[in-house]
Amino acid sequence: MKNVPLYIAGEFVQSQSDQWIDVTNPATNEVIAKVPCATADEMQQAILSAAEAFKTWKETPVSERARVMLRYQALLKEHHDEIAEILSQETGKTFEDAKGDVWRGIEVVEHAANIPSLMMGETVENVAREVDTYSYIQPLGVCAGITPFNFPAMIPLWMFPMAIACGNTFILKPSEQDPLTPTRLVELFEQAGAPKGVLQVVHGAKEQVDVLLTDPVIKAVSFVGSVPVGRYIYETGTRNMKRVQSFAGAKNHMVIMPDADKQQVINALVGASVGAAGQRCMAISVAVFVGSSQEWIPELKEALAKVRPGAWNDKAAAYGPLISAQAKDRVESLIASGEAQGAKLLLDGRGCTVEGLSDGNWVGPTLFAGVKPGMDVYDQEIFGPVLSCVEVDSLGDAIELVNNSPYGNGTSIFTNCGGSARRYQHEIDVGQVGVNIPIPVPLPFFSFTGWKGSFYGDQHAYGKQAVRFYTETKTITARWFHSEMEVDANFSIHLR
Q: How many CB atoms lie within 10 A of CB 263?
A: 11
State the Cα–Cα distance between residues 471 and 486, nearest whole angstrom. Answer: 38
Closest-CA residue to 395 (of 381, 383, 411, 407): 411
Residue 471's H or E segment, with its range, is strand 471-479
Catalytic residue among 281, 352, 389, 417: 281
281 is catalytic: yes
Closest-CA residue to 252 (of 341, 105, 382, 364): 382
Contact of 343 with 370, CB cutoff 8 Å: yes
Phi, psi of 291 (to 5 degrees): 60, -130
Q: How much is the CA Rg of the chain, to the nearest whole Å?
A: 25
**DSSP state, 442?**
P
Number of H helices, E strands in the chain: 16, 23
State the Cα–Cα distance between residues 368 and 377, nearest whole angstrom. Answer: 9
Contact of 98 with 436, CB cutoff 8 Å: no
Task: Please tell me whether residue 489 adopts helix, strand or coil conformation.
Answer: coil
> Strand 131-139 and strand 123-128: pairing?
antiparallel
State the Cα–Cα distance between residues 273 and 366, nearest whole angstrom. Answer: 9
State the Cα–Cα distance between residues 265 and 273, nearest whole angstrom. Answer: 12
Q: Give strand ranges (E) for 188-283.
A: 199-201, 218-224, 243-247, 252-256
Residues belonging to the active site: 281
